[in-house]
Amino acid sequence: MLIFHGGQLPQDQQSPENMQAAMGKWFAWIEKLNAAGRYDSGEPLLPGGKKLSAVDAVTDGPYAEGREVVGGYFIVKAETMDEAVEMAKDYPDFEYGGTVQVRQVMKMDM
């Protein structure tokens, strides 16, 4: 799983043209992974949500600094962690300070 943190166009660069160009980079990356048979699924996450805990019950959130916000995820098909890391190196939002967390999903037989 590739988990995307932060990485947004700076506020002063968020013209429709720049946003469309940024999305084009995402679509090209997805197409590259898909053509290689490595893309399984993924979605962006909407802002906001709810945070649950045993102590606080339910609160609005999670709220964090922009670089900490989880913006979305991909499920990719990789034989090794190194292979998944190589796929993540094409993350389009590195240029905006974004980061990618690469995690292995443990399959559970239910």
- Look at phi and psi of residue 75 and say left if phi exceeds 0, alpha if psi is from -120 to 50, else beta: beta
**Domain range list for the chain:** 2-102
**Contact between residue 61 and residue 45 where contact means Cβ atoms under 8 Å apart:** no
**Contact between residue 72 and residue 8 where contact means Cβ atoms under 8 Å apart:** no
Q: pLDDT by residue for the chain (110 residues), tens digit each?
A: 999 998 888 888 889 999 999 999 999 999 999 999 999 999 999 887 877 777 766 656 555 555 567 899 999 999 999 999 999 999 999 999 999 999 999 888 88
**Contact between residue 90 and residue 62 where contact means Cβ atoms under 8 Å apart:** no
User: Does domain 2-102 correspond to CATH entry 1.10.3720.10?
Assistant: no
Give the angle 74-16-3 at the CA atoms, nearest 5°. 15
The residues with which 2 forms a beta bridge, in sequence order, are 74, 102
